[in-house]
């Protein structure tokens, strides 16, 4: 089983009041220029891709434990709350799992899913790639943003991405050696 530095209650909610909870709206809002708004929707898009991919792959291979999927679902919801707070439209709202409105995102999801379907090692590699791409998107966005709520969310998101990447690497090492 993969280890994570956070725990989840029986209801599937994170046991802490970190990013995966509702605290993003407790931070004061700030100003986002056009580029920062675009980056926030890009983070939401990448986060949803990583989440949908992990759900699809977990159905085929035990890539992520249930608590990681629950935390990631809360992250998607929290970033969605930020998107709404700033009056932005989530282009993937109302889409079925694994469906994206942007052709590029859909093609990337389909490519990663095909790679992940091949084997448990392929699933780990696909999940890692999705998380690395998400981290790269967040890193670009956090470098420019000054809005306290969004900056906090990006920093917290980077921390949980790091935890999942470490766990996936451990999983891949155990699979390769075992």
Query: What is residue 64's predicted lDDT score, i.e. its pLDDT?
Result: 62
Q: Range of 116's domain?
A: 31-177
Percent of the chain with pLDDT over 90: 53
Closest CA to 160 of 68, 79, 57, 80: 68
Q: Which residues have CB under 8 Å from 9's CB, separation 6+?
A: 15
How far is the first Cα of the chain from the last one, in angstroms, to the nearest whole number?
14
Q: Could you tell me if residue 20 is inside a domain?
A: no
The CATH number of the domain where 44 resides is what? 1.20.1260.10
Q: Could you tell me if residue 6 is inside a domain?
A: no
| Residues 156-170 pLDDT 10s | 999 989 988 988 888
Is the model's pLDDT at 18 over the cut of 60?
no
Query: What is residue 61's predicted lDDT score, i.e. its pLDDT?
Result: 78
Q: Could you tell me if residue 4 is inside a domain?
A: no
Neighbours of 102 (CB within 10 A): 14
Closest CA to 33 of 137, 138, 147: 147
């Amino acid at each position: 089983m993969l280890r994570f530095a956070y725990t989840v209650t029986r209801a599937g909610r994170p046991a802490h009041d970190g990013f995966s909870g509702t605290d993003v709206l407790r931070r004061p809002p700030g100003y986002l220029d056009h580029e920062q708004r675009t980056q926030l929707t890009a983070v939401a898009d990448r986060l949803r891709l990583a989440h949908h991919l992990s759900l699809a792959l977990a159905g085929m291979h035990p890539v992520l434990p249930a608590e990681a999927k629950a935390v990631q679902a809360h992250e998607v919801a929290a970033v969605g709350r930020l998107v709404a707070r700033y009056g932005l439209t989530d282009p993937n709202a109302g889409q079925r799992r694994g469906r994206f409105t942007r052709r590029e995102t859909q093609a990337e999801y389909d490519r990663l899913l095909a790679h992940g379907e091949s084997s448990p090692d392929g699933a780990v590699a696909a999940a890692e790639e999705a998380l690395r791409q998400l981290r790269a998107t967040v890193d670009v966005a956090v470098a420019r943003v000054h809005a306290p709520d969004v900056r906090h969310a990006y920093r917290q998101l980077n921390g949980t991405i790091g935890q999942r990447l470490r766990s996936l690497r451990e999983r891949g090492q155990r699979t390769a050696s075992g």
